[in-house]
Structures are given as C-alpha cells and as structure tokens.
Structure 1
C-alpha cells in the first residue's frame, strides 16, 4: 500500500502570525494581493487587521467581500471576473470555510479556464495547472480549508452541495493566528468545533487511515475533548488550542478522506441551508453508532481521548458505546441541535436527502458501506 500526503509548503502558527504575510509574499516575488472574504469580516474589523499589516508593508491589495455562506457557483465566477480586473498575482483566503472555498475556486478557474462552469470541478477534478498562489488565513477553528485539497460549492439550481478534490488547490502558505479566531460568536465556536471533531473522527475510522493520519487525528480528538467546551465559554487559551486542532486534523482528513457524516451533512446544507458544522454535530454520534461494529479498535482510542476509564481493558462493545455516548453528550452540552427537524427538515425532504447523500463524494469513505435505504432510515431516525 502506498500513501500520499499533501501539505502546505509552509505554515505559521501563533498570535500575530498574520504579520508574516508581507515578508512571505515578497520573498516569493508577489506584488499585489486579492483578498477573498465576506462582508461580516469587513464589518467586524477582522479584514482591517490583515489590511493594516499589508498597508504597513507597502503591499497593495484588492478586497473581494462578496462571499456568501455555502458559496454558490456564481460566487466563484464573480470572483474570477474581479480577480482578472485586479492586477493581483496572489490570493489571500481570509475567513471560515466559505471565503476559503471560494478563494480556492477562484484560483483554480483562473489557472484552468476550461473549468469556468465550476460544476465540472466536482469530485476529483482533472485540472492541469496549480491554482493562482493562495495564502490561507482562517478566522474560524473548524474547516481547516487553509491546509486541505478540498473545497465545497453549492449548485443552487439543483439545491445541492458538491465537493471538489484537487491537489492543485491547496494554499501554498497558511497563517493560523488565534487573534483572528477569538472573536467568533458562541454559536460559531460550537459549529466549527463540531466540524473539526467530525473531521478527526471520520478520518480515524475511514479505510484509508494509516499511522501518520491517525497520529494527527487522534491528537486532534484529544485537544478538542479538552478544549472545545472551554473555548465556547470564552477561555482564550482553549480557543487557541482549537485553532491548532482544526489545522492538525485538516492535514489528516484532506489526505485520507471522510465518511457518511459529511455525506449526509452536505445535502442538509445544499437543500435546506443548514450550517455545515451544525449538520455534522447532529449526525456525528448517530453515524458513529451506525459504524461502531466496523471500527475495529479505533473507538477505544476515541473513548480514551474523552476520558472514559478502562478504554483499553473493558469489553470492546461497551467501550464503543461509551465513545458514542461521550460524543453525543458533548453535542448536547454545547447546545447543538440533535434532530434534523430542528433545522427545518420534514418527512417530505428525506428521499431527496438520502439520494444526494448516497451519491456524495464523501460517502464511499465510510467504514460501513450504506445503502440508500439505510441512509434514508438514518435521516428518519433523526426527525
């Protein structure tokens, strides 16, 4: 078996990491930045923290703040038009998953104009050229888009989300600066934290997992179990650990894949507009239950990370149950919804949700291969 691992060329971590952006850009011969972000981050002053650094270094830039949540195809196409007019030679993806995914789409299409429809990028994209160089600057602690080879786009016409998987889209540099993640509202800390936990657990149990990916993902699970609840309550040191945890598991799941939680979460976002992390939080424990007999000894490690006593000495079935229960309890304690009816799903939605989840690019990475009917029943059990 041959394993492939793709990471950023360079990454910077710690408070004040964004101050390294100008020198990193100039050392690579870049002259002008095209910052991809959203209006919320402009209004709350986050974008200014980065542009102040660029201003001080005398580096010109253009701010593209038209990114929408669950970014649609048209968002990327608009960004491509604006980039071409800007005279910029590198991109800064500044934000959570939506700005960074939009940034990746822009960079890929500019470098590979034959994919201008964006829809043709779905799945393992057959691009020939690396993206316009991207600097990934996260403002949330969950998606890890700054270090992945994936991005998610919404096909609004057909009310669905799709994943593009492309080594050409990985940011060449990442700047993980907890000063930018401290200001997340509580609800966003919950959603992005549960997203990161889902990435870690799914990348541990997927059949593609191996020693290096397990080391990254299991460290993430431990960090999240210790820090997520505290970060949500405002502990800035715990929040800093969550920023790093998100990145660490991103290095894992980007390379070994995800599973049914993401396969089922994407249709909830595409059809019903449910925030991705919220959807993952609803689905994680139930899908862990669905998968537990197919997880080998991995749930022992997960249970131990959550502080379950006797994780390595007690009966495996009992430990698996405890691992599922620990994740379910954390989700409940954080106040995330636990049913899909709470986020607007009805019985009439279930057939279409199951169809799209079965076809999702993440679903084949699940350790237990579900049928479309089993996915339907899982959704129905969460009404």
Structure 2
C-alpha cells in the first residue's frame, strides 16, 4: 500500500520556542514576513511575544490584523491585497485557527494564477499553488492547522464554510509553544481541546485512515484523554498544557494525512450560519455522531476508548465502545458544553436551515469519509438529536 504523507518541513516544539521564530526564518532563507493575526492579539499585546524577538533579530515584519472568527473570503482578499502591496517573502499565521487559516488562504489567493474568487479552490479542487510559504505559530491547543494541508473559509454570499485542501495550504514550518496557551480562558481551552480530540478520533476511524496517520492519532488520543479536564480546571498546569499542545499538533498531522469525517462535515454549517466557534460545534455533535457511527467501526472506537483512558485494556469492544459514548457525554457535561438550544440558537431558524445544512455538510465531502456514510435525512435527524430541548 502506497502512503503519501505530507507534513511541514520543520516543527519546532516546546516552551519558549516563539522566541526562536527568527532562527526558523533564517534557516529557511526567509526574512520579510507579513504577520497575519487578529485584533485581540494586537490589543492584548500578545503578538509582541512574536514581534519583539523578530525585531531583536533585525526583522521588521508587516502586520495584517483584520482576521475574524470563521475567516471570510472578503478578509482573505484584503489580506492578499496587503501581501501584494509589500515586499514580503513569507507569511506568519499567529493565533488560533482563524489567523492560521487566513494566512494560508492569503498565500493561495496572492498567487499570480489564483482564481477571481476563493470558492474556485474548494474541494475537490487541489489547491497546490501558493504565492509564498506560510509559517504557523498557534496560540491555542486545538485546530492543528499548523500541521495540515487544509484551510476553511466562509463564502459570504452563501454562508458556506468551504474546505480548501492542497499543498499550497501546507505550512512550510510551525513553531509550537505551549506557553502561549497559558492565558487561554477555560471556554476556549475546552472547545479547542475537544476539537483536537475529534481530529484524532475521526482520523482514526476514517475510511481514508492509514498506518502513519494512525500512529499520530493514537499518540494524540493518549495525551489528550488524560489532560483535557486538567487544563480546563487548572489553566496554569504547565505539564497538561504542554501535553495538550503536542496532542493538537499530532492530531493535525493525523487528519491531514487521513481525513476528518461526519462531525466536521456537520459542524461547519453550524459555524457558518450561527457563528458557533468551531470546536464548540464539534463538541455539540460528537456524542450523537459517535453513537450513529459506532457499530460500523466498533474495534476502532473501542481502541480509541482504551487509548484515551476511559476503557481498560481487557474490556471487550462492545464494553469499550459503550464506555466511549459515556465518556463523551460526561466530558461535555463537565466542560459545560451547551446544546445548540442551550446556546441560544432559535429552534425555528435551526429547523428551517436543516436541509441547507445537510446539503452543505454532504457537499464538503467529509461525511463520505465516515465509517457509516449518512444520507441527507440521516444528517437532518442527527442535527435534530443534537439540538436538545
């Protein structure tokens, strides 16, 4: 079996590594970055943790800080214009998934042969051409975008979250510094942590799974399982934060070389239409989707339960699978994950949009990777189950 494994050229992982970004750039022959971040990173001064070491090394980067949650096509085009107006040789995505995904999309749309609109690059198109390399510096332990060949951008005309995949979206390097996550609030810590676990689990049960992706997914679940509650309850637990950051990157490598599946396919429309943070919408769906899928990949789900520590090595697959379902529900309860109803989503609007959301979920391609592939009616039923009343 041929396995085509893709990853950044360099991963610099460890506490304090944000201070070594200039070394990474120099090693790659780069010196003129455009930093892509968000307004809070600037107003809070957090971006100075990156800019100050760069300045000390004599690097004066440009700064684009107009990124938004659920990054949009309009923001990407503004960023591409900013990139084209300067003499830049690379981009640095600094922040959570939104700035990193925006930086990747800017690199794609700044290419001389880029289409007029980024929707032309969504899957199944292979987005392999970028104007410049991207270096990612994540500040949350969740999306794994620093290690993936994906970016997700919202089409403002249709409210569709578009999955874009290709080598042009794969970072050249990533600097993974868990110390940047120490001030992340509990809600974001929980949402991004469940996001990273979902990446590992879906990569592990995906129909596109392979031995190398399995290795990353298994290790990710081993380190995320025992530490997710710890970082939620004890934000300054350095060992747990370090483990979660490593787990997020490993999970990113796993799904980038396997795939995500039904949870992500259904999650993106919730984010696009109701502006629910991505990790939170994953968490809302994960128990119901896992219950739907369990019998179609029982040995895999059972092993995931053992890896994350909620089932014992001697538990039969049926027992371990049941324990996984119990654990996912218990985790949502302990981390205060609301249902869409409890989150305040209007039931009439939710029900009206169900056919559209199901259609968009299927169009993303991710449900087709699921162990049990649903049709539109089954997706609508899962949305109804997850809604909660």
| Common topology (TM > 0.5) | yes
Q: Where does 1:134-173 land on structure 2 (aligned, <5 Å)?
A: 134-173=134-173
Q: What does 1:1-383 correspond to in 2, within 5 Å?
A: 1-127=1-127, 129-233=129-233, 234=235, 235-314=237-316, 316-340=317-341, 342-346=343-347, 347-383=351-387
Distance 1:28 1:358, change over 3 A: closer
SS of the counterpart of 2:151? strand
Q: Is the 8 A contact 2:128 2:166 kept in 1?
A: no
Structure-2 change in CA distance of 1:303 and 1:29 (3 Å): closer
* CA distance in structure 1 between the aligned counterparts of 2:384 and 2:27, rounded to whole angstroms: 54
Shift of 1:382: 1.9
- Give, in angstroms, the shift of residue 296 of structure 1: 3.7
Report the Cα distance in structure 1 between the residues aligned to 2:200 and 2:80, rounded to whole angstroms: 32
Aligned 8 A contact 1:231 1:237 in 2:
no
Which consecutive residues of structure 1, in runs of 5 or more, have no partner in the other structure?
Answer: none
Greater CA drift, 2-11 or 294-303 = 294-303
- CA contact under 8 A between 2:288 and 2:385: conserved in structure 1? no
Shift of 1:361: 2.5
CA contact (8 A) 1:306 1:326 kept: no
Specify the SS of the correspondent of 1:189.
Answer: helix
Q: Give the CA deviation at 1:236.
A: 2.6
Q: Which runs of 5+ in 2 are unaligned?
A: none
Q: Distance in 2 between matches of 1:318 and 1:382?
A: 23
CA contact (8 A) 1:145 1:250 kept: yes
Compute the displacement of 1:311 (Å): 4.6
| Contact 1:300/1:311, CA 8 A, preserved across alignment | no
Aligned length: 382
Cα distance in 2 between the residues matched to 1:358 and 1:38: 31
In the TM superposition, what whole-angstrom CA distance separates every residue of 1:315-352 from its partner, at most 9, and x where no partner exists?
A: x3232111111122112111111345635152222222
Contact 2:306 2:320 in 1 (8 A): no
* Cα distance, 1:182 vs structure 2: 1.3
Greater displacement, 216-225 / 368-377: 216-225
Deviations 1:332-378 (A, max 9, x none): 11111134563515222222222211222211111111010000111
Matches of 1:133 and 1:366, distance apart in 2: 32
**Residue 355 to residue 340, structure 1, CA distance change in 2 (3 Å):** farther
Partners of 1:290 and 1:96 in 2: how far apart?
30
Q: Secondary structure at the match of 1:94?
A: strand
The worse-fitting range, judged by mean Cα deviation, of 235-244 and 135-144 is: 235-244
Note the C-alpha offset of 1:127.
4.2
